[in-house]
Amino acid sequence: MGSKKDKKEKEIPQEGIQTPGSDTYRTLAAPAQGLYKEKGSKFLAFAYPVEDETQAKERIEALRKEFFDARHHCYAYVLGNKQEIYRANDDGEPSGTAGRPIHGQILSAGLTKVLVVVVRYFGGTKLGTSGLINAYKTATADALLQAQVVEKIVMQEFTACFPYERMNTVMRIVKELQLSVLGQEAGMECHLRFSVRLSDKERCLQRFGEERIELR
């Protein structure tokens, strides 16, 4: 097995990033797998929906343990509603031959909050730079092709704070703006937690401001 000391994480430049809509993004509904074989080497691709870097790293480590006898565990993940967080790792493969192709396929599919790990079992024959790029690209594409893609709406949470006698006013705004109520506490001072679609955020702030109701 190759040395681990040179397997450093690399950040991918921003060129080519496809930004989703203002308050929607595309991600995976569930994990999916892909496979590519070339000259005895096997490239097992695992695609996951992930919410943050912690979750992505946990998935990567789990695969390292499960496929401990593999030569390489290369990956890329894209996070954030606008794909603003992204990392890739060649895990000992020649620079730019693994993480970058994986990352490129995630972007080409217009996805975010997605991790793809490609586990390679070396077959004894070197594939060369172009061969490796094609292998990691194809394995990733196969996994994403098997996956179900869903579109999700970006929401923002607020808590309205108001005296009990303003309850009817608050509920009228909730109905008017079709806000999603997440929880509420009634007392001398009431608290109502809700979420609003990002594209409706400014309108929401304006309406509560007009009624002089505090939002936190």
**Predicted confidence (pLDDT) per residue in 30-77, tens digit:** 999 999 999 999 999 999 999 999 999 999 999 999 999 999 999 999
Say yes or no to pLDDT of 2 above 70: no
Say yes or no to pLDDT of 14 above 60: no
Q: How many other CB atoms sit within 10 Å of the CB of residue 82?
A: 14
Q: Which residue has the higher pLDDT, 29 or 81?
A: 29
At 208 the pLDDT is 96
What value does the mean pLDDT take over residues 12-34? 70
At 160 the pLDDT is 97
Task: Tell me how many degrees the CA angle 158-159-162 measures, rounded to the nearest 5.
Answer: 140
SS (H, E, C) the chain: CCCCCCCCEECCCCCCCCCCCCCEEEEECCCEEEEEEECCEEEEEEEEECCCHHHHHHHHHHHHHHCCCCCEEEEEEEECCCCCEEEEECCCCCCCCCHHHHHHHHHHCCCCCEEEEEEEECCCCCCHHHHHHHHHHHHHHHHHHHCCEEEEECEEEEEEEEEHHHHHHHHHHHHHHCCEEEEEECCCEEEEEEEEEHHHHHHHHHHHHHCCCEEC
At 58 the pLDDT is 98
At 10 the pLDDT is 39
Band of residue 13 on the pLDDT scale cut at 50, 70, 90: very low
Strand partners, 114: 49, 78
At 115 the pLDDT is 98
What is the percent of the chain where pLDDT is above 70? 90
Domains along the chain? 9-151 (3.30.230.30), 154-215 (3.30.70.240)
At 203 the pLDDT is 95
Question: What is the overall mean pLDDT for the chain?
Answer: 90
pLDDT in tens, 71-116: 999 999 999 988 999 999 999 999 999 999 999 999 999 999 999 9
